[in-house]
Each structure stands twice: as structure tokens, then as C-alpha cells.
Amino acid sequence: MTSGSATFAGKIRVRAPAKINLHLSVGAVRRDGYHELVTVFHAVDLCDELTIAHAERHSVRSHPADGVPAGVKNLAGAAARMLARRSGAGGPVAIEISKHIPVAGGMAGGSADAAAALVGCAALWGLDIARGDLAMIAADLGSDVPFALTGGTAVGTGRGELLSPVLARTPLHWVLALAADGLATPVVFAELDRLRAAGDPPRVGSVRDILAALASGEAAAVAAALGNDLQAAAISLQPGLRRTLRAGIAAGALAGVVSGSGPTVALLCFDAESAGGVAAELAGSGTCRAVRVATGPAAGARVVGPH
């Protein structure tokens, strides 16, 4: 890694996408404490936007700030400091996060912010650094951060950080039902372990099913192949998610799935018009805090211009 001439002298704006897990198979606990995963990540155009500027000391502020980790616990700040340390270039930055991805919602909002910080700081400091090198740093920050860099649709293995791109032939249209309260990922994994010890809830099928469905370009085929081993645990912790899923189907969605560790429910719709109708009906159902309409696949973390 080398430092080139500064690309942006003042401030820079970066966006990074939320993700949905179209498939999430959870295996045994590894020696490092993580579970072995096979997942299909799908980036959607619900994005956080970061403004990054040179500063006298590192700082991170989020708007709104509810539930967002502050100080050294914020992944965006950690990403900036790690990139400075690994590259030997750059300096303190002030990061402002405009939050749109739900906090503790199973959509990797913190990971998206970390990916945006890596891309933004690299551009702000004029670093000559390949995306592959950024991805190595991203993997050290968190399992979902490498995918937030790449976006699109991809199979993730290991703890989710080992990625293989997937060609998704057509756009997918989603309604996202946001819950009133978040769920902490470690708590959801622990609940899945408890449920399995007590009787092993049904597991999702082969990842080949969702890959074949994506290759077909048929939304109905993708809907039939959606699956998430963590869904049973998320519903166990927040039983109201069952009502949200049922309300989405009743409103006309093709299928629904809890995204990642939840509690956001992702409802796949036939097209954009159908998604608008489902969103309107679900918003009045009383089964969720808010709804968002989104489309995927979306691009990964990217610079969108100077401030």
C-alpha cells in the first residue's frame, strides 16, 4: 500500500448498502467461537451515507444516534483507525453517519458503515490500495464487512467473509418490515444453539436451490428457495415476527424471510408495483414499526462525491 496525492482535499461522501440473506445455513461452532456458515448475501439499495473529513482527532457521530455504538465501539471509526495503521498513511478523521439501515436489524448496518469508512478514507487520503487489500482489512473488522465492500449477490462461506460472486439475472423487489426493537447477533446464535440442543428445529435446504432460482431470473422461484436457519431463533426471541411474516404474505408478498439475525423481515414481491401495494398495506397492519421498499442487487460501498 502506498500513499498517492490526495484525491479529496476536504470532505468526501460515501454510501454502502444493507444486505439481506437469501439463504443462511448455520453449521457447527468453530474453534474460534464462530459458527460455520453458508449464506447468499444480497445487497439492496437501502444505504447509509457517510461524510468523512480531515480532523484534529478521530470522531464518529450518527444521525439518528439511537442504538448506534459510539466512540471506539463504532465499526466505522475502527475501520478508519485500522486503515491508517495498516497503510502507514492518513490521519484523524471526523465521520458523520446518516443512518437509514436499521440498527441491530439483521441487515449489517454497522458493517456497511465500516466498509464505507474504508473506501472513503482510502479516497480521502489518496491511497493506492486494491479492493482485495481493503477486503483483507474488512474481514478483520467483521464477517459481513467484505460483502458490504463488494455488494451485488454473493455466496459467503467460513464465517461469511469468504465470498464468491453470484450472477443475479433480474432485479428483486423487496418490502422491509422494521421492528420496534433490535436483536443482538450473538444472542440470536445462542438461542439457535439452545433450540437445537432441545430438539433441532428444521434446517434450510441446499444452497444450490437458491442459486438455481437466481439463475432462472424468476422471482417466484427465488421466493420458494428463501431460507434462514436463524429465523426460528429470532422468532423465539420476538414471537411477533410471525405476525409480520403472515401479514406480508396476506398483503400479497410472494414470500418472507427474517434477514440474518433479525428482526427485520424481508418480503419478496413480484415487481415494483406489487412492492408498493404490499408496503402500503403492511404499514397499516400494526405488525411492524415502519416499512421500506428496496431493490437489489445494489452496488457495494462507493464514493458518491465531495461534500
User: pLDDT by residue (tens digit) across 36-78?
Assistant: 899 999 999 999 999 999 999 999 999 887 778 776 678 999 9
- Based on the fold, state whether residues 84 and 154 are members of the same structural domain: yes
Say whether 200 is catalytic. no
Query: How many CB atoms sit inside 10 A of residue 118's CB?
Result: 30
In angstroms, the Cα distances linking 21 to 139, 176, 207 are 18, 13, 12
- Based on the fold, state whether residues 148 and 275 are members of the same structural domain: no
Average pLDDT in the 179-197 region?
Answer: 93
Name which of 194, 212, 273 is nearest 23 in CA terms. 212
pLDDT at 9: 58
- Based on the fold, state whether residues 154 and 192 are members of the same structural domain: no
Is the per-residue pLDDT at 148 higher than 60? yes
Query: How many CB atoms sit inside 10 A of residue 84's CB?
Result: 18
Q: Cα 186 to the chain's mean position, in Å?
A: 16
- Based on the fold, state whether residues 157 and 225 are members of the same structural domain: no
pLDDT at 298: 96
Range of 215's domain? 172-296
pLDDT at 168: 77
Say whether 144 is catalytic. yes
Q: How confident is the model at residue 212 (pLDDT cuts 50, 70, 90)?
A: very high
Number of domains in the chain: 2
**CATH number of residue 246's parent domain:** 3.30.70.890
- Based on the fold, state whether residues 22 and 130 are members of the same structural domain: yes
Q: Which of 19, 48, 99, 229 is an active site residue? A: 19
Q: Which of 48, 113, 144, 229 is an active site residue? A: 144
On average, the pLDDT of the chain sits at 91
- Based on the fold, state whether residues 208 and 138 are members of the same structural domain: no
Percent of the chain topping pLDDT 70: 96
Is the per-residue pLDDT at 5 higher than 50? no
Is the per-residue pLDDT at 8 higher than 60? no
- Based on the fold, state whether residues 162 and 198 are members of the same structural domain: no
pLDDT at 307: 54
Q: How confident is the model at residue 107 (pLDDT cuts 50, 70, 90)?
A: very high
